[in-house]
Amino acid sequence: MGTVQSVAPRLSVPSSAGESPEDPSGLRREELLRSAWEELLDRQGLLTTHAEHRQSVWRSLSEWLRSGKPGTLPEQIPLHEALSAVLAFRKVLEETLKDTEESRRDELLRSVDALYCAWVQPVCGRADANVDEFLDEWLDFADVGHFCLDTEGRVVFWGRSMERLYSIPASEILGRKLFDAFPAFHQEPEFRELLEKAAEQRAPQQAQRLRHRSQKKGLRYLNVRVAPIGDGGGKISGFRVLVHDVTERQQSEETLDRYRKYVQTILQDAADAIIVLDENDRIVMWNRGAEALYGWKAEEVLGKPITIIVPNDPRSQREIEWISKEVQKKGYVRNWEAERITRDGRKVLINLTRTAIYDSDGRFVGSSIIARDVSEQRRIEQQLIQSEKLSAVGQLAAGIAHEIGSPLTAISSLAQVLIERSDDEFFRERLSLIRKEVDRIARIVRELVDFSRPVAQTVERLNPNSLVEEAVRIVGYDRRLKHKQIHLELQPDVHPVEGGYDQLLQVLVNLLLNAADAIESVPNGQVWVRTENRGDEVLISVRDNGVGIPPENLPHIFDPFFTTKKPGKGTGLGLWVCLNVIRNLNGRIEVESEPGKGATFRVFLPKCPLPEGRTVKELRG
């Protein structure tokens, strides 16, 4: 590679003294230049060069303008004084030549600029031991631009890397002011501030990712370092500037950052639980979907083993070990259903897909888990299956009811006749038991039929208090309540409700009988029945102080055929019937229970207005 560019060969040099073309003003060139110099000497304050040094500067200047070779300055003349004189001379010369032909004027001015560069270049270029050919080659190899400015902002050195990065050869830029050649640098305050700060503090300054608007390449991002250059006399003679164009890196980082944000947003806002594990099955990422599903916040589980969400039973522990081994062996486990535990101890059924993660060398470095709660989906599927079973049972029950209805009626009637004709107490008691069991069979069949074809009933306005009193009277003969207390707390002005009398009575009887079962083994078992107005609804509540309902059973108590009673004590249909009756009346049932502290069932029904001219007490119930 060649040496640093010399300015003399590429700039236009005036004709020799022998040719001395005349200016349009009629003055010979030497006379024109001498006139400008004398004008400079006469202008007070413009020429700051010491008086004893001015003649030496003029001789060097004249020699350059005649031969194109810069004269040698005596060592006692400070460089900054000589440079100041050249700049002052150029200013006066430019004014003197204002009426001169443009091409001739520019030729003379470029010649003065060339002298200036020739004197300042050794400070910034070849004469500086730190800026030699090797350094310029190294900077070019490193894609770092390198140029030098004098104190007036003129470019006095333009390295190869600057030519390549900006597509501007040194011949077009040397001697020009940087801010004239690159207006964007003047408009962008950051670069000017770097220069000013470097001059003020006499120390290198730098800026990272400086935004620069290039005329040829558009927006660029530059790392810039500006270092002041001393003249050996304690003064600054210029600045060395290093420029590293990091636009591609910046754009790559911005693209990568956008992609990272996109991925992070997708991962965090996904409805599914997404978990990332390291090679030791420890949690390194936990999205908001996982927080919602399992209950733990990310900061609570990061760094912990995945077994934190696995039930602590042998089957589940063996299962998670198999999944981990299968992922490392096969690379994935897809659509696997398993039970997991939440922060509050609940078990949830999930469908998971776990996929291995490998690095660029193919080494296993972890795995990702995408999990979805399918508990509700499976519950709905089971309800659908149960509904289909109920439909089949209902159709069967309808046929059975038709076939055995008449025989049961006959048996019940015969038993009643025998009771009336017999005086034997033993036989009368046994016959009563036969009638009771026959009635129970008929009731079960009727309940089964109601599932598939609810019995149509006349809807009428009813008095809730009267319904409660009738239900309590009916269950009062039950042996389970023989020595128990039932407390009535009935609001006198309770609003009427609409419904079928028999159906609502059946609901209340079922709730009271369930309460009777709950308090049967409790020494001081009691039941409270309450009615009250609640806004646009009427509340009927049945509360007991019995054994209560276990938390795991609460979600299932309204499911058909679900019962915790002993075999033969219940069909598991009572609460299902209650729920459907109340729902058909646009009402709802709520239950609250705690083991050992009893249970409370609340029935909410829409209130309805009283018939004109009637009171609640006059209504049926």
**What is the C-alpha to C-alpha distance for residues 543 and 565, in angstroms, rounded to an integer?**
19
Does a structural domain hold residue 267?
Answer: no
**Domain containing 115: what range?**
8-120
Structure tokens at 553: 């059973």
pLDDT reported for residue 8: 30
Residues 559 and 585 in one domain: yes
pLDDT reported for residue 329: 92
Q: Which of 349, 371, 393 is the last residue of a domain?
A: 371
Residues 466 and 411 in one domain: no
Q: Going along 421-480, which residue ranges are E strands?
A: 459-462
The sign of the CA dihedral 293, 298, 304, 305 is: positive
Q: What is the DSSP string of 157-175?
A: EE-HHHHHHH---HHHHTT
> Does position 433 have pLDDT exceeding 90, yes or no?
no
| Residue 335 backbone zone (phi > 0: left; psi -120 to 50: alpha; other: beta) | left
507 touches 541 (CB < 8 A): no
Least confident of 114-128, 160-174, 495-509, 545-559: 114-128
- Give the Å distances, CA to CA, from 302 to 285, 297, 513: 7, 9, 51
Percentage with pLDDT > 90 across the chain: 23
Does a structural domain hold residue 3?
Answer: no
Does a structural domain hold residue 510?
Answer: yes
Residues 514 and 424 in one domain: no
**What is the C-alpha to C-alpha distance for residues 182 and 167, in angstroms, rounded to an integer?**
13
> Does position 439 have pLDDT exceeding 70, yes or no?
yes
| pTM for this entry | 0.41
Q: What is the CATH number of the domain that holds 155?
A: 3.30.450.20
Q: Which of 234, 251, 268 is the last residue of a domain?
A: 251
Question: What is the pLDDT confidence band of residue 16, given thresholds at 50, 70 and 90?
Answer: very low
Looking up tokens 């009988």 gives: 513
Query: pLDDT digit string (tens) for 153-181?
Result: 888 888 777 877 777 887 778 778 888 88
Structure tokens at 438: 């026959």
Greatest C-alpha distance within the chain:
167
pLDDT reported for residue 566: 62
- Of 4-8, 112-116, 160-164, 484-488, highest mean pLDDT: 484-488
Q: What is the CATH number of the domain that holds 578?
A: 3.30.565.10
Give every CB contact of residue 22 below 8 A, 6+ residues apart in sequence: 28, 29
**What is the C-alpha to C-alpha distance for residues 494 and 490, in angstroms, rounded to an integer?**
8
pLDDT reported for residue 60: 73
Residues 301 and 384 in one domain: no
Q: What is the CATH number of the domain that holds 412?
A: 1.10.287
Residues 68 and 47 in one domain: yes
Residues 32 and 61 in one domain: yes
Least confident of 280-294, 373-387, 436-450, 591-605: 436-450
Does a structural domain hold residue 128?
Answer: no
Residues 309 and 434 in one domain: no
Number of domains in the chain: 5
Residues 509 and 613 in one domain: yes
Query: pLDDT digit string (tens) for 461-475?
Result: 899 999 999 888 888
> Does position 6 have pLDDT exceeding 50, yes or no?
no
Does a structural domain hold residue 518?
Answer: yes
Does a structural domain hold residue 528?
Answer: yes
User: Comparing 94 with 277, which gets the higher pLDDT?
Assistant: 277
**What is the C-alpha to C-alpha distance for residues 503 and 458, in angstroms, rounded to an integer?**
10
Q: Residue 364 forms beta bridges with which residues?
A: 358
Least confident of 220-234, 313-327, 422-436, 558-572: 558-572
Select from 11, 16, 41 the least CA-distant residue to 28.
Answer: 16
Residues 362 and 387 in one domain: no
Structure tokens at 81: 């004084």
pLDDT reported for residue 243: 84
Query: pLDDT digit string (tens) for 323-355?
Result: 999 999 999 999 999 999 999 988 899 999 999
